[in-house]
């Protein structure tokens, strides 16, 4: 039996009459790359915000890294990393300053920050850019840097909200190499995406439609179940029944 690091039980979020996330129940294993798919407005972001402790569930239950989403949000925050769909490092700070800042607010010691930033810059090949403003880097590098900063404090789980939006296929591939490397180190990766080729890279994926999880399995198994040749087709079969959209 593998360790379960994310576990939800009928997790629900209502905004007035609108049920954004409707009683979702699933588990994510340690070291797994878990794809969280759904059309726009399906409730992915709301679900993810609850899991990160940014928003309180209306009902149901969830534990993240062993901590309860109602009572132990502070502990959850220490154990997760987060990268949003908006690029979110400080553009007017240098690469090094960003690393130092985020390392600092996650409570790393100066020594840890020093070793880690050297490691990170070497891994990304950013040696000559380390003292440049982040705003001057190309988007692909920003995304990679952003991911590396999100896992700087060695979280047990990292949440990625459409991390590769607007990036070319080559850079996306490189980005996924970083994700695999992190998963090999034992970091659980929870990722939302629009790109179906990316869905194929995941160990398991769930597909949300109108606030509910309609399918959850490995990409191979899903294709078999839906008698489809590609993930695109699986997704289309499920999502065309959706009532909600943009």
Partner 1 sequence: MRCFTNSPGVQNAETNMKQFAIFVKKEFAHVLRDRKTLLILFGMPVMQILIFGFALTNEVKNSAIVVVDYAQDEASQRLISRIEASRYFEVNKAAIDHHQIEESFKQGNVKLALIFPQNFEADLMHQNKAQVQIITDATDPNTANTLTNYMTAIIQDYQADINQNASIAYRIIPETKMLYNPQLKSVHGFVPGVMALVLMLVCVMMTAVSIVREKEMGTMEILLVSPFKPLLVILSKAVPYLILSLINVASILCLSVFVLDLPVNGSLILLFAESTLFIITCLTIGIFISVRTGSQQVAMLISLMGMMLPTILFSGFMFPIENMPKVLQLITNIVPAKWYYIIVKSIMIKGLGFSAIWKETVILLGMTLFLLIISLKTFKIRLA
Q: Rule CB under 8 A: which residues touch partner 1?
A: 52-56, 66-67, 74-75, 77-78, 80, 82-93, 97, 100-102, 104-107, 159
Residue 149 vs 215, nearer CB to partner 1: 149
If 0-12 CB within 10 Å is exposed, 13-18 middle and 19+ buried, where does residue 236 land? Answer: middle
CA–CA dist 244, 70 (Å, integer)? 28
> Mind giving me the DSSP string for 150-204?
HTTT--SEEEEESTTTT--HHHHHHHHHHHHHHHHTT-EEEEE-S-HHHHHHSSE
CA–CA dist 155, 172 (Å, integer)? 22
The CB density around residue 94, as the number of other CB atoms within 10 Å, is 17
CB of 57 to partner 1, least distance (A): 11
Residue 54 vs 181, nearer CB to partner 1: 54
CB of 49 to partner 1, least distance (A): 9
CB of 53 to partner 1, least distance (A): 7
Residue 146 vs 193, nearer CB to partner 1: 146
CB of 3 to partner 1, least distance (A): 10
CB of 56 to partner 1, least distance (A): 6
Q: Which two tokens stand for residue 71?
A: 């009572």
- Could you tell me which residues come within 8 angstroms of residue 44 by beta carbon, excluding any fewer than 6 positions away? 36, 37, 38, 192, 208
Alpha helix positions (H), 106-138: 110-124
Q: Do residues 39 and 211 touch, judged by C-beta distance below 8 A?
A: no
CB of 157 to partner 1, least distance (A): 11
Residue 39 vs 80, nearer CB to partner 1: 80
Residue 67 vs 175, nearer CB to partner 1: 67
Residue 74 vs 246, nearer CB to partner 1: 74
């Amino acid at each position: 039996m593998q360790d379960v690091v994310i576990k939800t039980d009928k997790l629900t979020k209502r905004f007035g009459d609108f049920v954004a996330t409707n009683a979702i129940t699933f588990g994510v294993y340690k070291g797994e790359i878990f794809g969280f798919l759904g059309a726009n407005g399906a409730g992915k972001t709301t679900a993810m915000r609850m899991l990160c402790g940014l928003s309180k569930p209306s009902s149901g239950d969830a534990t993240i890294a062993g901590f309860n989403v109602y009572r132990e949000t502070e502990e959850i925050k220490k154990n997760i990393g987060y990268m949003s769909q908006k690029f979110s490092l400080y553009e007017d700070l240098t690469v090094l300053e960003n690393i130092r800042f985020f390392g600092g607010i996650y409570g790393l010691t100066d020594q840890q920050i020093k070793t880690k930033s050297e490691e990170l810059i070497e891994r990304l090949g950013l040696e000559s850019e380390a003292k440049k403003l982040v705003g001057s880097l190309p988007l692909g590098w920003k995304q990679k840097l952003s991911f590396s900063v999100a896992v700087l404090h060695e979280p047990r789980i990292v949440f990625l909200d459409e991390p590769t939006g607007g990036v070319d296929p080559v850079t996306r591939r490189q980005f996924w190499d970083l994700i695999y490397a992190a998963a090999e180190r034992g970091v659980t990766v929870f990722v939302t995406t629009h790109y179906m080729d990316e869905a194929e890279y995941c160990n398991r994926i769930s597909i949300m439609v109108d606030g509910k999880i309609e399918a959850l399995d490995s990409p191979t198994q899903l294709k078999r179940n839906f008698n489809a040749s590609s993930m695109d087709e699986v997704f289309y079969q499920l999502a065309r029944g959706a009532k909600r959209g943009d």
